[in-house]
Structure 1
């Protein structure tokens, strides 16, 4: 231990001792100042180092992410992975240096200043205090008079005590001076030694890590040289090809039309076509079409799911369409629909027609064995019955519709021939059909039967609900009511197509098997008998419809044999009215077909509506006793989405108004039935029509503060205005409108309680 000051010297309290003390005090003060500054600089360095390490780690993570992105290129992925790993080791070493600096330098020096220097200052204060006391005692001792013995003794005692305290404090002070002189060397040297060791280890680890990549760096450098040469050659070749292509004639925008049925990609034909939508607006959208796997499909973007236009090309035909105002149009017709497409030129139109025809021929050739079987012949023969079709986009919801509709009793077999697993439907009749019978129904015309595929077509929720309200069993009780009295035998699945066609025409066109209307004199009893038979035969049918909601006011309807004034009963589990203990059912047996349709629509009595239409009821029949209301308006009053859909599918006029000038859209708006308003707008209802009070539906909805209906009406108005404008705004507006209407339809069918929103701040448009 280095002795800065001798203990004997402090007892003398000589000027030399005082001079040394002053020098030591000045030196310690300077040391404290410099150490404080160094600690602050060290703290700044540590903070900057931590930020640097964090940014370095982020950079390493960025290199790793880039390597994952370039995983397909082994050279780049390997380079990025190796370098990021080594750099991560270096960054970790840098973190260790910072940690060592934190512990060895900052904390050590900070501790020296806060503890040792502070202790030195405290001892110095005690020394100075005792020195002042000694000085005062010496003065009093010197001033004590000779002749006053007690003062002399008192001064001598005080001096003795002060000198003893001073020498003790002086010895402690000298000890502290020597200690701090020694400790400042050891602490500072140890801090610097730890820092040098950490720095040496840091650079050593970095050097070792990068040295391990030395051979890899040489190989990578050679690869880079080859890549630069290859890149230069590729650039030269591309520039030559670019110049050669620019010299060609670019005035024609014709696409290359190549039909390749044996292409390795499986795509026989592809290109852009315009497709006309199936909504009421008949908008055109440009889509990328392909022929693959005997199907015609399209998509908007590459990652979009393919939408199937034709599931099996063997079941369709293609022909040019000269009736449309647009040029280069052609039509792809299947048993369920007709899809109108437009090419960019006549050459492309002919190319696509030829491609579809060749694909049909290829599909038949690939499935020659199945086409030779009886089932295959039936499927192929159904193609010849195609005379048109319902247009519409196909979606995956078809599978769900198939499962939902086939749960209805009787729907697991074809309504007309009994073949199991039917995957076609007649949406205006509410029945399921096999492929052969669906082709026959399609040939009858849409005024008799509207055919749609349960698997290939998109199904709106209201259509699914409609199909669930009827079913094969209910319809056959109407159209085959007299089958036991007729000698014609119902066909079975293996019957010839001619027999099936004859049966279907007799059943739906000629209506040979329905219960005939009685003569005037016995109408009431016969109609009651028919109604009782229907009720008796439908006891096993489960509940697929909402609870009965009869109109509050009874209708005064014309009957064939008078008017029954009995009370309205409740619906049993079959959906028909059944008498209970307290009230009688409403007797509808004497109503003529139009009145029966009208009353059944109010009661949501679907078999009754189907029975009325089968007996020739006018779907737009007017009840003069109730302001010229129609069955569709009655269905609106009952808030029955499925009943309105049934009437519309059977030709109801969505714009026919009553004597107050109010059509179904007015009534739906007044009653706040958002789902019905959405349905009518999709079916082309006139949102501008005014009633007798000169109010259109938008004004009525605003007055009623119905935010949802106002939204629908304004969107329909905006959409029409956009379509009337020039430019591309019409198409995007149509797509948005369709999406919104589709969302409202699903909500009205599945979550009607969500359509109760009201707003008091809607302003008149």
Structure 2
């Protein structure tokens, strides 16, 4: 250890010693000042380092998240992930270096200042105080008078004690000076060595970590060079395209309209269209429409679930609309609804119309490529059922659909399309009662549901009432009505090979303009139908005598087979005796509904009969009520499919549901409830159908009415998102519908037998 001051000099207390002490005190004071400043600078460095590490950590995490966001670009994801990981390792090493500096540098220097320098200061103060005491003792000793012995002794003793104390403090002071001088070297040098070791370790780890990326950085650098070249080339190409586009007229917005049925994403066509709302306000909204999966859908925002406008484009048609004041409008018509759309230009309008037509054609073409015919599919399904030996609701439904195809196509004339004669038609118009081919069914859809309601014999499920209705008419019966004057007009009827335009022109002339029906005689303009004029017309035959047709049931439901045959013979006798040729179409429909004469009903409707015609001479009764009185299930279905009001009441306030309930016609009650009849309506006696059924003790009708009411209440409780009905409700109505159509004697027996 280097000796700053000599102890011998300390005992002499020479001027040289005093000068050395002053130099030491000055050095220590300056050392304390510099060390205080250095500790503060070290603390600031550590705080800045920690802040740097914190911000660096956030930055590296941002790089990592950016790599995750660029997951579609493998190169970018790998680059950002690798660099952020290595930088995080370096950051951890830097954090360790900061903590080492905190412990080894700042703490040591701070302790040196607070402990060693403070101890030196305390010893110096004691030395200075003892030095002052010694100076005072020396002065008193020198001033003691020679003649006062006791004062001399006191002064001598005081000087002796002061000198002894001073020398002790001086020796301690010199020792502390030498100690602090030596410790200053060791502590500061040690702190610097630890700091440099931490720095060296940090940079070494960083260098090793980054060296591991040399090959990857070299590879990435080469790729970056290629990216720069490609980017410059692409920039030049885009500038050329930009310049070329700017030379064109961009003052209008007319998107390119391309239909691609085989697009990779399954979207054959897409773009913006205006859609008119179906509410009372008829507002127009701009939506993004697309044709995909043989459906027309739209959405407001990209992430929203698309709203389906048309479930199956094969069941719809498209045409321009000139009835609306807005330009470029067109309609997509399906059996259930009509959607009015508007494009931005005539070119877009034609593009969308062509796209929908092409989608329909593509869907039909895919279906034609199916090697199995509908009848073969039914046959294979039946064989599958026989092999599996299974049964169930789904199988029963499919079996019923196949049976519908068999029954309907078995009607005379139904094995060829009603309008063009193409064989094996598997589409039908349920309000006309005819079968159609694919092309003609599409044309019928374009006419609107007020003219024709199209349904597939193979793709749709068929209710028993509809099957019964279809079997009452047929292509031969309807053609005798709508093509009665075809020979006179000499217009050539299209054949299966005729162009679509010819078929469309023929169908419109036949069903919309009704050019070929037999004109009414003047006597057919009388709107009145009374018992007297009915009795006066019993001498002529009806203009259209119903042809025998294959039906699922006899015309009169209930009773034994012999009773049914008798009723049919009585009915035919009445038809032969009663002349209906002079009746107004509404009156003809009214009378033929009571007679269950479907050809006459179809003839009346073809001549413009009001399906809700009212007979004031018979309590304002309607054709529907007449059909109810004779329990004519198929006739009621025929009137409903042609727009009859299921809730139109007579002068007694009784609608079809009231009359069916009073007469105990359970099948009709089931039909009317399914078609939306108001079960809360009251007649003039304030009786609703449920109270009438309770009074008549008809348990089946009471069950139907109550379950309908309960099901509606449950849907209302569920709100706007309620289901269309639970399975129990649907199963009960399905069972009653099948029983009413296929086994009406059971319902008749149950309604008459109080024990049943």
Which bin holds the TM-score, normalised by the shorter protein? Answer: 0.5 to 0.7
The answer for the alignment partner of 2:97 in structure 1 is: 97
> Which residue of the other structure, out of 346, 369, 381, is the alignment partner of 2:428?
381
Alignment pair present for 1:35 and 2:215:
no
Q: Are residues 371 and 158 of structure 1, via their aligned partners in 2, closer, same or farther at CA, if it must alter by over 3 Å?
A: farther
Q: Is the 1:262–1:268 contact (alpha carbons within 8 Å) kept by the matching residues of 2?
A: yes
The answer for the alignment partner of 1:114 in structure 2 is: 114
Q: Is the 1:382–1:440 contact (alpha carbons within 8 Å) kept by the matching residues of 2?
A: no
- Return the offset for 1:80: 2.2
Cα distance in 2 for partners of 1:525, 1:70 equals: 69
Any residues of structure 2 matched to 1:625-664 within 5 Å, and which?
none
Q: Is the 1:57–1:88 contact (alpha carbons within 8 Å) kept by the matching residues of 2?
A: yes
Cα distance in 1 for partners of 2:212, 2:328 equals: 68
Q: Is the 1:480–1:514 contact (alpha carbons within 8 Å) kept by the matching residues of 2?
A: no
The answer for the alignment partner of 2:196 in structure 1 is: 196
Tell me the alpha carbon deviations over residues 7-62 of structure 1, each in whole angstroms, 9 at most, x when there is no partner. Answer: 22222222222121111111111111111121222222222222222222222222
Tell me the alpha carbon deviations over residues 559-606 of structure 1, each in whole angstroms, 9 at most, x when there is no partner. Answer: xxxxxxxxxxxxxxx88xxxxxxxxxxxxxxxxxxxxxxxxxxxxx99
Tell me the alpha carbon deviations over residues 594-622 of structure 1, each in whole angstroms, 9 at most, x when there is no partner. Answer: xxxxxxxxxxx99xxxxxxxxxxxxxxxx
- Return the offset for 1:124: 0.8
The answer for the alignment partner of 1:481 in structure 2 is: 661
The answer for the alignment partner of 1:362 in structure 2 is: 362
Query: Structure 1: which 5+ residue stretches go unaligned?
Result: 391-412, 420-435, 451-474, 493-502, 546-573, 576-604, 607-640, 646-765
Q: Is the 1:299–1:306 contact (alpha carbons within 8 Å) kept by the matching residues of 2?
A: yes
- Return the offset for 1:504: 6.5
The answer for the alignment partner of 1:154 in structure 2 is: 154
The answer for the alignment partner of 1:129 in structure 2 is: 129
Q: Are residues 151 and 332 of structure 1, via their aligned partners in 2, closer, same or farther at CA, if it must alter by over 3 Å?
A: same
- Return the offset for 1:310: 0.9
The answer for the alignment partner of 2:85 in structure 1 is: 85
Cα distance in 1 for partners of 2:429, 2:672 equals: 14
Cα distance in 2 for partners of 1:210, 1:158 equals: 76
The answer for the alignment partner of 2:210 in structure 1 is: 210
The answer for the alignment partner of 2:609 in structure 1 is: none
Q: Are residues 91 and 438 of structure 1, via their aligned partners in 2, closer, same or farther at CA, if it must alter by over 3 Å?
A: farther
Q: Are residues 305 and 442 of structure 1, via their aligned partners in 2, closer, same or farther at CA, if it must alter by over 3 Å?
A: farther
Q: Is the 1:335–1:439 contact (alpha carbons within 8 Å) kept by the matching residues of 2?
A: no
The answer for the alignment partner of 1:234 in structure 2 is: 234
- Return the offset for 1:526: 12
Q: Are residues 291 and 483 of structure 1, via their aligned partners in 2, closer, same or farther at CA, if it must alter by over 3 Å?
A: farther
Alignment pair present for 1:290 and 2:290:
yes
Q: Is the 1:335–1:438 contact (alpha carbons within 8 Å) kept by the matching residues of 2?
A: no
State the SS of the aligned residue for 2:428. helix
Any residues of structure 2 matched to 1:55-66 within 5 Å, and which?
55-66=55-66
The answer for the alignment partner of 2:341 in structure 1 is: 341
The answer for the alignment partner of 1:24 in structure 2 is: 24
- Return the offset for 1:176: 0.7
The answer for the alignment partner of 1:69 in structure 2 is: 69
Q: Is the 2:275–2:284 contact (alpha carbons within 8 Å) kept by the matching residues of 1?
A: yes
Cα distance in 1 for partners of 2:22, 2:118 equals: 17
Cα distance in 2 for partners of 1:334, 1:325 equals: 22
- Return the offset for 1:256: 3.2
Q: Is the 1:382–1:439 contact (alpha carbons within 8 Å) kept by the matching residues of 2?
A: no
Q: Is the 1:416–1:491 contact (alpha carbons within 8 Å) kept by the matching residues of 2?
A: no
Q: Are residues 514 and 105 of structure 1, via their aligned partners in 2, closer, same or farther at CA, if it must alter by over 3 Å?
A: closer
Q: Is the 1:320–1:331 contact (alpha carbons within 8 Å) kept by the matching residues of 2?
A: yes
- Return the offset for 1:538: 8.5
Over the residues paired in the alignment, what is the CA RMSD in angstroms?
Answer: 4.8
Q: Is the 1:116–1:180 contact (alpha carbons within 8 Å) kept by the matching residues of 2?
A: yes
Any residues of structure 2 matched to 1:254-403 within 5 Å, and which?
254-367=254-367, 375=401, 380-381=427-428
The answer for the alignment partner of 1:590 in structure 2 is: none
Q: Is the 1:479–1:508 contact (alpha carbons within 8 Å) kept by the matching residues of 2?
A: no
Q: Is the 2:680–2:689 contact (alpha carbons within 8 Å) kept by the matching residues of 1?
A: no
The answer for the alignment partner of 2:219 in structure 1 is: 219
Cα distance in 2 for partners of 1:342, 1:356 equals: 14
Q: Is the 2:680–2:688 contact (alpha carbons within 8 Å) kept by the matching residues of 1?
A: no
Tell me the alpha carbon deviations over residues 314-341 of structure 1, each in whole angstroms, 9 at most, x when there is no partner. Answer: 3333332221111222222233322111
Q: Are residues 307 and 449 of structure 1, via their aligned partners in 2, closer, same or farther at CA, if it must alter by over 3 Å?
A: farther
Find the structure with the greater CA-based Rg.
2
Cα distance in 1 for partners of 2:348, 2:689 equals: 63
Cα distance in 2 for partners of 1:528, 1:288 equals: 52
Tell me the alpha carbon deviations over residues 677-696 of structure 1, each in whole angstroms, 9 at most, x when there is no partner. Answer: xxxxxxxxxxxxxxxxxxxx
- Return the offset for 1:188: 0.8
Alignment pair present for 1:179 and 2:179:
yes
State the SS of the aligned residue for 1:481. helix
Tell me the alpha carbon deviations over residues 637-663 of structure 1, each in whole angstroms, 9 at most, x when there is no partner. Answer: xxxx99xx9xxxxxxxxxxxxxxxxxx
Q: Is the 2:693–2:702 contact (alpha carbons within 8 Å) kept by the matching residues of 1?
A: no
Cα distance in 2 for partners of 1:525, 1:355 equals: 52
Tell me the alpha carbon deviations over residues 158-185 of structure 1, each in whole angstroms, 9 at most, x when there is no partner. Answer: 2232222222211211111111010001
Q: Is the 2:647–2:656 contact (alpha carbons within 8 Å) kept by the matching residues of 1?
A: no
Cα distance in 1 for partners of 2:47, 2:340 equals: 70
Q: Is the 1:144–1:151 contact (alpha carbons within 8 Å) kept by the matching residues of 2?
A: yes
- Return the offset for 1:293: 0.9
- Return the offset for 1:506: 13
- Return the offset for 1:186: 0.6
Q: Are residues 311 and 181 of structure 1, via their aligned partners in 2, closer, same or farther at CA, if it must alter by over 3 Å?
A: same
Q: Is the 2:660–2:668 contact (alpha carbons within 8 Å) kept by the matching residues of 1?
A: no
Q: Is the 2:294–2:359 contact (alpha carbons within 8 Å) kept by the matching residues of 1?
A: yes
Cα distance in 2 for partners of 1:76, 1:103 equals: 41
Any residues of structure 2 matched to 1:652-731 within 5 Å, and which?
none
Cα distance in 1 for partners of 2:669, 2:645 equals: 24
Q: Is the 1:315–1:382 contact (alpha carbons within 8 Å) kept by the matching residues of 2?
A: no
Q: Is the 1:318–1:356 contact (alpha carbons within 8 Å) kept by the matching residues of 2?
A: yes
Q: Are residues 417 and 137 of structure 1, via their aligned partners in 2, closer, same or farther at CA, if it must alter by over 3 Å?
A: farther
Normalization by structure 1: what TM-score?
0.54
Alignment pair present for 1:166 and 2:213:
no
Cα distance in 1 for partners of 2:287, 2:361 equals: 25
Q: Are residues 280 and 527 of structure 1, via their aligned partners in 2, closer, same or farther at CA, if it must alter by over 3 Å?
A: closer
Normalization by structure 2: what TM-score?
0.54
Cα distance in 1 for partners of 2:35, 2:71 equals: 53
Alignment pair present for 1:47 and 2:227:
no
Q: Are residues 442 and 322 of structure 1, via their aligned partners in 2, closer, same or farther at CA, if it must alter by over 3 Å?
A: farther
- Return the offset for 1:527: 11
Cα distance in 2 for partners of 1:515, 1:280 equals: 25
Tell me the alpha carbon deviations over residues 468-489 of structure 1, each in whole angstroms, 9 at most, x when there is no partner. Answer: xxxxxxx997564145469xx7
- Return the offset for 1:542: 12
State the SS of the aligned residue for 2:319. strand
Cα distance in 2 for partners of 1:218, 1:200 equals: 26
Tell me the alpha carbon deviations over residues 214-254 of structure 1, each in whole angstroms, 9 at most, x when there is no partner. Answer: 22222222222222222233333334444444555657754
Q: Are residues 479 and 21 of structure 1, via their aligned partners in 2, closer, same or farther at CA, if it must alter by over 3 Å?
A: farther
Q: Give the number of aligned pairs.
A: 477
Q: Are residues 148 and 478 of structure 1, via their aligned partners in 2, closer, same or farther at CA, if it must alter by over 3 Å?
A: farther
Alignment pair present for 1:15 and 2:62:
no
Cα distance in 1 for partners of 2:128, 2:687 equals: 132
Q: Are residues 138 and 124 of structure 1, via their aligned partners in 2, closer, same or farther at CA, if it must alter by over 3 Å?
A: same
